[in-house]
Amino acid sequence: MCFIKKIYIILLFLVLSNYIYSSTTGQFLLVSLMARETALGNIYAANYGNPGSSIINPATLSGITNTHILFTHFVSVFNTYYEHLLYAFPLNNKMGLGINFLFSTNSDLYRTDENGYPVEHIENYDTLLGGIFSFNINNEISGGVNTKLIVSKFNRSSLFGIVFNFGCLYRNAEKNYILGASIENIGISTAYFKEQSLFPIIARLGYTSEIFQYLDIYRIYILIEEHVFLNENEGSETSFGLEVEHQNFFIFRYGYIFGKEEGRLSLGAGIIFKQLKIDYSYQPFFLSDNVHMFTVEFVFY
């Protein structure tokens, strides 16, 4: 556990000393892309053997023993479409690899005339191609790195960039808890050379524990995570999540984000079949709109 604290402090110091005063670009990187993690209050840092969480904390990919394919689709409150695909597999019993792809666009953006009538569609999209690598240092500690190549376009302006996520994980089997830490979006883009803008950099520190188990019928987990926005005005957020699993088939999830004005509450559910998992999350943003998100996961044994 001392190791994970040291790594987190070192990464946090490096980020603070270099990037804290920069402006930001690539706001789509702040969007939560997995239904399970979104339902828990955007919690990603402290999970083990979970491919979905590895897009933020790559160390959480450690421990997978099968090939996974995950697909997420949802439409944001601003009518932006998000399509995300993740393919993850174990290299051996100590290392895992993953590849993910994201495409998002808004089809309702138009240039208008002086009377406010649309005359031309504004081309816009964000794409991301990522690679994930995780490794077990020993039976308790894991590490990982995530690389993302980014291409964005809005009207006639284009952006190209590359970012890295670094993460680590500590597992205590005796006391049945997990600690996770990550730094995400460390990198640079063409926007930096034009307006000194960097991608939004976030530090996460999370805790997950199984607090109740009744035979193989019920399991209850609590998850807590702190998000620190290092070059954003939002400051920090604290997420609390609760996950209740019934007979390894039906899962109920609840999440709440403290320190956030919009989208504080989230709810979700999941169904587990032998090789198929379906997760759903609902996260209200305004009185008149909300987000419904689905993630479908296939597991190949």
Q: Domains in the chain, ordered, with CATH?
A: 2-300 (2.40.160.60)
pLDDT along the chain (301 residues), means of 10: 51 47 78 95 96 98 96 86 97 95 90 78 93 96 98 92 98 94 95 89 96 93 95 82 96 91 84 95 69 94 88
User: How many whole angstroms separate alpha carbon 282 and alpha carbon 293?
Assistant: 7
Which pair of structure tokens corresponds to residue 82? Answer: 């998000």
Q: What is the pTM of this model?
A: 0.89
Note the pLDDT of residue 233: 61
Alpha helices of the chain — where are they, by DSSP H? 2-19, 35-39, 190-195
Note the pLDDT of residue 61: 97
Burial of 211 (0-12, 13-18, 19+ CB in 10 A): exposed
User: How many whole angstroms separate alpha carbon 62 and alpha carbon 67?
Assistant: 13
Distance from the Cα of residue 92 to its chain's centroid: 24
Question: pLDDT by residue (tens digit) across 122-166?
Answer: 899 999 999 999 999 999 999 999 999 999 999 888 999 999 999
Cβ-based neighbours of 283, under 8 Å, separated by 6 or more: 38, 39, 263, 265, 266, 267, 290, 291, 293
